Amino acid sequence: MVRRRNLFVPGKTEYVKEKASRPPGQCILCDVARGVGDVVNLEIAREGDFIITLNLYPYNPGHVMIFPARHVEDPRELDRDEHPQLARLQNLALDVLAAEYGPAGFNVGYNVGAAAGASIPHLHLHVVPRYPRELGVVDVLSGAKIVIEDPVETRRRLRAAFADALKKSRG
Tell me the average pLDDT across 115-122. 88
Give the Å distances, CA to CA, from 119 to 7, 20, 23, 113, 138. Answer: 17, 11, 15, 8, 26
Between 35 and 64, where is the model more confident?
64
At residue 94, the 3 state secondary structure works out as helix
User: Could you give the residue numbers annotated as active site?
Assistant: 124
Question: Which region among 19-23, 31-35, 45-49 has the lowest average model confidence (pLDDT)?
Answer: 19-23
User: According to DSSP H, which parts of 43-136 are helical?
Assistant: 82-101
pTM of the model: 0.77
| Three-state DSSP state, 167 | helix
CATH topology of domain 10-170: HIT family, subunit A (3.30.428)
pLDDT of residue 141: 47
The 10 Å CB-count burial string (b at 16+, else e) for 42-75 is bbbbebebbbbbbbbebbbbbbbbbbbbeebeee
Mean pLDDT across the chain:
83
Which sequence spans correspond to the domains of the chain?
10-170
